[in-house]
Amino acid sequence: MKEVQVTEVPSGAQLIDVREPAEFAEVHAAGAVSIPMSEFVGRIAELDQDREIFLICRSGGRSAQVQDYLAHRGIDATNVAGGTQAWVAAGLPTT
């Protein structure tokens, strides 16, 4: 499974936040789209498979599970190491 440091998320890639809505509302990476893990199966069609997909959660565990789910369906995605906690710690833009 692919995993990258937060500073390696390329501009123009999809950044999908799989945390629950209340967590997303508190703080999230700028440009991230919320597709909670609990809703992911029903919302998988929202992914643009023509663009790189990066997954993020709080610390990397849930996004790794979603990455595995996608891999079993033949969809390539990359997990953001350390999740939103690492994103904030790195001083990257948040909303």
Q: Which of 35, 37, 57, 70 is catalytic?
A: 57
Q: Sheet of 53-56: strands edge to edge? A: 3-4, 78-80, 53-56, 14-17, 33-34
Catalytic annotation present for 67? no
The catalytic residues are: 57
